[in-house]
Structure 1
Amino acid sequence: MKRAIHIFPAFRKTEKIQDIRYIYDPLSDKIPPHITLVFPFESRIPQNELFEHVQSLANAVAPFNLTMNGVTGSGGKYLFLNVKQGNDALIHLHNELYTGILAPFRNHHITYTPHITLGRIKNQEECTMAVEKYKDWEESFHTVVKEVVIEEIGEDDHSHVIGRIRLDDNRF
């Protein structure tokens, strides 16, 4: 079974993000705008063990402010909405989640950069044009992150939420 762990930010103007994703991201109708904390992995880890692992880490993290704005390209084929506030908390969660039972799934060859993927673009020229189109996009998105979401990824690449784990409100 293929699973992943995300944050689904509760922005007031998510449709503005989705408008761009509909153009450039083939997954736009399969998963809402998200920040990936644990990239898709296949395992037979029992669901209750995965939930316990995530819950134990969430108990040590307070809800945090998240602000995103600015569009950039990455790797000549991705269009990203960038994190402006909350980056350290996201990196901390990412690093902590990849301990214990999820440690074998961490890819040490990739530097984790929190973002929302706005596009997966077929070639560098199209990506460069998309970055140029949105380079002056001034839209800013704010929310308080209060939970982490565990999803299963269906064979059709659709996201199915199997768990929502709240961050520790007592630490806020």
Structure 2
Amino acid sequence: MMKRAIHIFPSFHSVEKIQEIRNRYDPLSDKIPPHITLVFPFESFIPQSEILAHIESVAKHISPFSLTLKDVTGFGGEFLFLNVKKGNDFLIELHDELYKGILAPYRDPHFTYSPHITLGRPGNREEYITALKKYKDWRESYHTEVTEITLEQIGEDNVANVIGRVPLNKNRF
């Protein structure tokens, strides 16, 4: 059985501040670059080729799109999120479509999808509140063009390894 996930890895001109915050608050910061999760980690025996074919069937209906992230907020009393300000609808559409077909059994109906980059998960309530106060006025915006979806395999050490990239449909109008 393999543990995999489907992500978008935004390419920003300056990612240093994002990575600085992640290095401080995210225990996975050295295992996976800043990303937006489309399909959360799942374990299955589904062959990689079938998952990639499924991603391709979704990607052919979506054109590359602009993405803007800005503002840090908290979630669930424990997570720090960098929020999507532009491109949200495309990310939600990708998320919803990817969780159909062969990946439908892995969708958690108790979870409302809210696209973001996780900046961290401070270890306790005090550290969480302090981090939120520290970054509440941080207004830097991050812009990019999303052109592909990435399939990753997650190793036992939680290191994510790219096993496939699927381009969005550049010819779709």
TM range (shorter): over 0.9
Q: Summarize deviations over 1:12-32 as a string: whole Å, max 9, x none.
A: 111221011000000000000
Displacement of 1:126 after TM fit? 1.4
Q: Summarize deviations over 1:100-133 as a string: whole Å, max 9, x none.
A: 0000000000100000000012222211110110
Contact kept in structure 2, 1:76 and 1:123, CA below 8 Å: no
Between the aligned partners of 1:77 and 1:46, the Cα distance in structure 2 is: 34
Aligned residues: 172
Between the aligned partners of 1:49 and 1:43, the Cα distance in structure 2 is: 12
Question: 2:10 matched to 1:6?
Answer: no
Displacement of 1:171 after TM fit? 2.1
State the partner residue of 2:39: 38
TM-score by length of 1: 0.98
Q: Secondary structure at the match of 1:30?
A: coil
Q: Summarize deviations over 1:70-100 as a string: whole Å, max 9, x none.
A: 0000011100000000000000000000000
What is the identity, as a one-letter code, of the residue corresponding to 1:72? T
Identity of aligned residues (%): 65
Between the aligned partners of 2:17 and 2:84, the Cα distance in structure 1 is: 16
Which segments of 5 or more consecutive residues in structure 2 lack a partner in the other structure?
A: none
Q: Which of structure 1's runs of 4+ aligned residues deviate more than 3 A?
A: none
Between the aligned partners of 1:123 and 1:97, the Cα distance in structure 2 is: 34
State the partner residue of 1:26: 27
State the partner residue of 1:162: 163
Between the aligned partners of 2:80 and 2:101, the Cα distance in structure 1 is: 32
Q: Secondary structure at the match of 1:125?
A: helix
Aligned ranges 1:71-86 → 2 under 5 Å: 71-86=72-87
Which segments of 5 or more consecutive residues in structure 1 lack a partner in the other structure?
A: none
Q: Secondary structure at the match of 1:126?
A: helix
TM-score by length of 2: 0.98
Contact kept in structure 2, 1:4 and 1:41, CA below 8 Å: yes
Higher mean displacement: 110-119 or 120-129: 120-129
Between the aligned partners of 2:121 and 2:163, the Cα distance in structure 1 is: 25
Aligned ranges 1:1-172 → 2 under 5 Å: 1-171=2-172
Between the aligned partners of 1:111 and 1:104, the Cα distance in structure 2 is: 16
Between the aligned partners of 1:93 and 1:21, the Cα distance in structure 2 is: 25
Between the aligned partners of 1:165 and 1:106, the Cα distance in structure 2 is: 21
Q: Secondary structure at the match of 1:170?
A: coil
Between the aligned partners of 1:119 and 1:19, the Cα distance in structure 2 is: 10
